[in-house]
Structures are given as C-alpha cells and as structure tokens.
C-alpha cells in the first residue's frame, strides 16, 4: 500500500490534460494524446470520440439553464391539474398543492412536495448559474465545494418528477364519471420541461472546468 | 510505464496511478473526493442473478393490477401503464412520453442491457456491440426513476384517502421489490471488470 501511495505521489496534482491524456466519456479509459490534439481521435478501447473537455460546455449549459428558467414561470403560474367534482372544476397549481397539505395539517407531505417541486428546481438552477459565473470569472474559490455542489445538482434533479407522477396516478385512479375526474393541465407540461431541461443542463456542464480555471499553473 | 492503471478523475481531471482495487473496496479522488473506481464483491455473477430477478419482477409489475380506487361503490382498477395511456389520450402526450420513458423504457433498457452484456460473457463470448450497450446503459441510468415514482405513489395515496379508499395490488408489491433488486443489480455492475475480462483473453 505504501508503495502505491508513493507511486501516486509522483503525480502530485498533475491533471490528465496537462500530461496530454484524454479520458473517454463513455468507458473511462485514458488515452495518450500526443501534442494534446484530439480532433477526430477515437477511444482505443470502445471507439467513442475523445474530447479533453465536454464540447462547448459553457454555452450549452447557459442555453439550457435559460430555457429552463423561462419554462419555470408558466410551470408555477399555470394549473398543473384540474379536479372536476360533481361538475364543478377546480384548478390546482404546484403551490396550491403544497398549501392543501399544510391546511390539512399534513406538513411532512407539504414539505416533500415543496422540496421536490419548488426547492429542488430552483436550487439546481441557482447552483448552475453560480458555477457558470464562477468559471467565467476564473474564480479560485473553494473548488472542492463547487465540485460537490455540482454533484449535488446531478443527484437531486430526478426528485422533481414526484409531482408529475402524483398527477399521473391521480388521473388514472379518479375516473368516476360525473362524480369526479382529474385531468392534467398545461402547467404540468411546462413543469416536465423544466425537469428534463435541467437534467440536460447538469449533464452538459463539465466539472473539470472548475479546476482548469482555478489553477492555471497546473496546465 | 504501462498506462493501464493510470486513471483521471471524472470531476477534476487529476491523474492517479491506481493499484488494483480489492473486491468490496472503492477508490476516491485525492483532490475532490469523487469516486474513481468501485469493485463490488462477486460483481458480475451477482449482477447477472439480480438482473434476471429484476426481469421477472418487471413483468409481474406490468401484468397485474397496480392500484384500485373505491368511492361510494364505484371502483377503478389500474395497472402501471393506465396513467400513461390516459394522459396520451387526453392530449398530454409530452407528459405521457416522459412518464413512459422514466418508469418503463429506461428500467427495461437497464435490465435488458445488463443481460445483453453479461449473458454472453457468462458463456465466454464477447457481447455484441458492447460499446453501444454501455453507452445506452449510462443514459438509461440517468432516466430511470422508479424510486421517485414510489414517492409519487405515496403522495397520491395520501391525497386520495381523503376521498375514498385505495387498494394496493400485487403489481405494486412487485414494483417495490423491483426498485430494491434493480438498484442492487446496477450498483454491483462494474463495466471496468467486463473490459478487464475481455482484455485479459489471450
């Protein structure tokens, strides 16, 4: 063990890009890039196109973050679900779903819905905007913590789907003719779009650029 | 110097000379703490068994009644796919497609692709189109959201209990088991070990 630790010490804070290596996005294999040029080079193991960094990471992530922020407005203002009970329709927005549980004293569920549908998408967008700006300003502020923030946005995005699933299940179950029916409304489509676009946005951001910019001397 | 055990951290690009990770251990990046390598115990054999179990549970979860709803003598019986079909017919195709992708297609691909890779390997064959299978598996993992659906079920049940009674069916229990078994299959699956086995061949 001590031998391997000494061996890795020889590469003290040396990055793959500085040593002219590119790691494959698909299989993780490290490939040597003589001259640091990778255009058109393919992974020797799995044949995927190699890139030193995800291509156009900043531009792509910005575009997707802005698109998600635009969809976020109608997702919250428009009703996501319409409940028709005895011929009388009531429209529910995401927030009114939270309020419903609060009024019935069911604060744990109110908290679940609030976290999944309102807090998670907002935090995801806020973190991505913060990371994008910090990278563009070549900030060297706490790269470990910023990398951790990135991993958090990657892990939590899926939980925003809870509300979409609640609507799907209610639509399926409540089909009682004149007595009660439930329909999905336009807000749900925008909300689904926010979830999908933010997942793509997190995927297109390359966390390695946090380190590239903060430590130019290692290049 | 062989570069075979040289790896770069996916999160911060730091190079590591990685000794062979023992079974049941993980290696993490020295700088940012991201996972470099995880070698599960009996990885491939266990993954194959869990994937086979998942395929049975997946079929049961899709073939039997999922939830039933009773209100003043009127009852609705649903399967896992009922909501998707209803949303599609009601003109909300986008939501129907998203739900179908995340609770049907992506999990089915996860199970199918693991079997696709590990089935032939078990009999000493090189899996067909291996790089494509790995790539699709990675995407399937991003979009498979069974555990989130389970939370959705719980919330919906609590919401509906105020109106009437909700009866869980056999498929729901199978679905809950599927989440556990498929998660175990995915976390014990180690693509690196597949590559090592193939490259170790003479």
Q: State the pLDDT at residue A215.
A: 58
Q: How far apart are CA A119 and CA A123, in angstroms?
A: 6
Position B88 pLDDT exceeds 50: yes
Position B75 pLDDT exceeds 60: yes
Residue B8 to residue A23, Cβ atoms within 8 A: yes
pTM: 0.90
**Which residues on chain A are in Cβ contact (under 8 Å) with B159?**
100, 166, 170
Q: Report H helices in A78-207.
A: 94-103, 107-113, 120-136, 143-156, 162-173, 186-204
Q: State the pLDDT at residue B92.
A: 94
B142 touches chain A (CB under 8 A): yes
Q: How far apart are CA B98 and CA B148, in angstroms?
A: 13
Q: State the pLDDT at residue A76.
A: 95
In which band, very low, low, confident or very high, does the pLDDT at A11 lie, cut at 50, 70 and 90? very low
Average predicted confidence (pLDDT) for chain A: 87
% of chain A at pLDDT higher than 70? 89
Average predicted confidence (pLDDT) for chain B: 91
Position B60 pLDDT exceeds 60: yes
| Residue pair B35/B11 in contact by the 8 Å Cβ criterion | no
The partner residues of B168 in beta bridges, in order of sequence, read: B67
The residue-averaged pLDDT of A108-137 equals 95
B186 touches chain A (CB under 8 A): no
User: What ipTM did this prediction achieve?
Assistant: 0.92
% of chain B at pLDDT higher than 90? 67
The residue-averaged pLDDT of B11-35 equals 90
The residue-averaged pLDDT of B70-86 equals 89
The residue-averaged pLDDT of A152-161 equals 94
Q: Is B168 helix (H, G, I), strand (E, B) or coil?
A: strand
Structure confidence by residue, pLDDT tens digits, A20-79: 888 898 888 888 887 666 677 888 888 888 888 899 999 999 999 999 999 999 999 999
Q: Which residue of B has its CA nearest to A150?
A: B11
In which band, very low, low, confident or very high, does the pLDDT at A159 lie, cut at 50, 70 and 90? very high
Q: State the pLDDT at residue A35.
A: 66
**Which residues on chain A are in Cβ contact (under 8 Å) with B135?**
26, 48
- Give the distance from residue B169's alpha carbon to the nearest chain A alpha carbon, in angstroms: 13
Window 38-97 of B: residues touching A by CB (8 A cutoff) are 67, 69, 71-72, 74, 76, 78, 82-84, 86-87, 90, 92, 94-95
% of chain A at pLDDT higher than 90? 60
Q: State the pLDDT at residue B202.
A: 39
The residue-averaged pLDDT of A5-20 equals 65
Cα A39 to Cα A15, A21, A32, A209, B70: the distances in Å are 20, 13, 13, 19, 62
Q: State the pLDDT at residue A171.
A: 93
Q: State the pLDDT at residue A175.
A: 83
Residue B99 to residue A164, Cβ atoms within 8 A: yes
The residue-averaged pLDDT of A171-196 equals 91
């Amino acid at each position: 063990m001590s031998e391997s630790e000494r061996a890795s010490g020889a590469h003290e804070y040396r990055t793959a890009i500085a040593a002219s290596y590119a790691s494959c996005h698909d299989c993780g294999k490290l490939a040597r890039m003589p001259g640091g040029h990778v255009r058109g080079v393919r992974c020797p193991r799995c044949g995927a196109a190699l890139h030193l960094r995800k291509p156009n990471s900043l531009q792509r992530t910005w575009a997707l973050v802005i698109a998600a922020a635009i969809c976020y407005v109608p997702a919250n203002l428009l009703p996501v679900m319409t409940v028709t009970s005895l011929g009388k329709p009531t429209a529910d927005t995401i927030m009114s779903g939270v309020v419903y549980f609060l009024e019935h004293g069911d604060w744990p569920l109110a908290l679940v819905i609030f976290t999944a549908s309102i807090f998670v998408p907002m935090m995801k967008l806020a973190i991505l905007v913060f990371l994008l700006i910090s990278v563009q300003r070549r900030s060297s502020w706490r790269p470990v913590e910023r990398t951790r923030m990135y991993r958090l946005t990657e892990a939590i995005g899926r939980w925003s789907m809870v509300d979409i699933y609640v609507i799907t299940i209610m639509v399926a179950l409540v089909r009682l003719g004149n007595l009660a029916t439930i329909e999905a409304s336009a807000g749900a489509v925008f909300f689904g779009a926010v979830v999908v676009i933010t997942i793509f946005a997190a995927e297109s951001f390359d966390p390695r650029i946090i380190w590239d910019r903060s430590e130019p001397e290692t290049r | 110097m062989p570069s075979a055990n040289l790896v770069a951290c996916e999160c911060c690009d730091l190079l590591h000379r990685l000794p062979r990770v023992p079974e049941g251990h993980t290696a993490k990046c020295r700088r940012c703490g991201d996972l470099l390598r995880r070698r599960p115990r009996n990885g491939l054999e266990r993954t194959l068994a869990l994937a086979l179990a998942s395929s049975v549970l997946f079929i049961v979860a899709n073939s039997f009644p999922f939830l039933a709803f009773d209100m003043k003598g009127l009852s609705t019986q649903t399967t896992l796919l009922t909501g998707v079909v209803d949303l599609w017919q009601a003109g909300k195709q986008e939501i129907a497609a998203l739900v179908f992708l995340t609770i049907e297609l992506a999990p089915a691909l996860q199970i199918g692709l693991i079997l696709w890779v590990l089935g032939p390997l078990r009999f000493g064959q090189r899996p067909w189109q291996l790089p494509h299978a790995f790539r699709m598996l990675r995407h399937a993992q991003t979009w498979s959201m069974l555990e989130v659906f389970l939370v959705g079920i719980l919330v919906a049940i609590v919401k509906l209990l105020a109106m009437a009674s909700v009866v869980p069916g056999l498929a729901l229990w199978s679905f809950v088991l599927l989440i556990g078994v498929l998660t175990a299959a995915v976390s014990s699956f180690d693509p690196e070990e597949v590559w090592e086995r193939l490259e170790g061949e003479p």
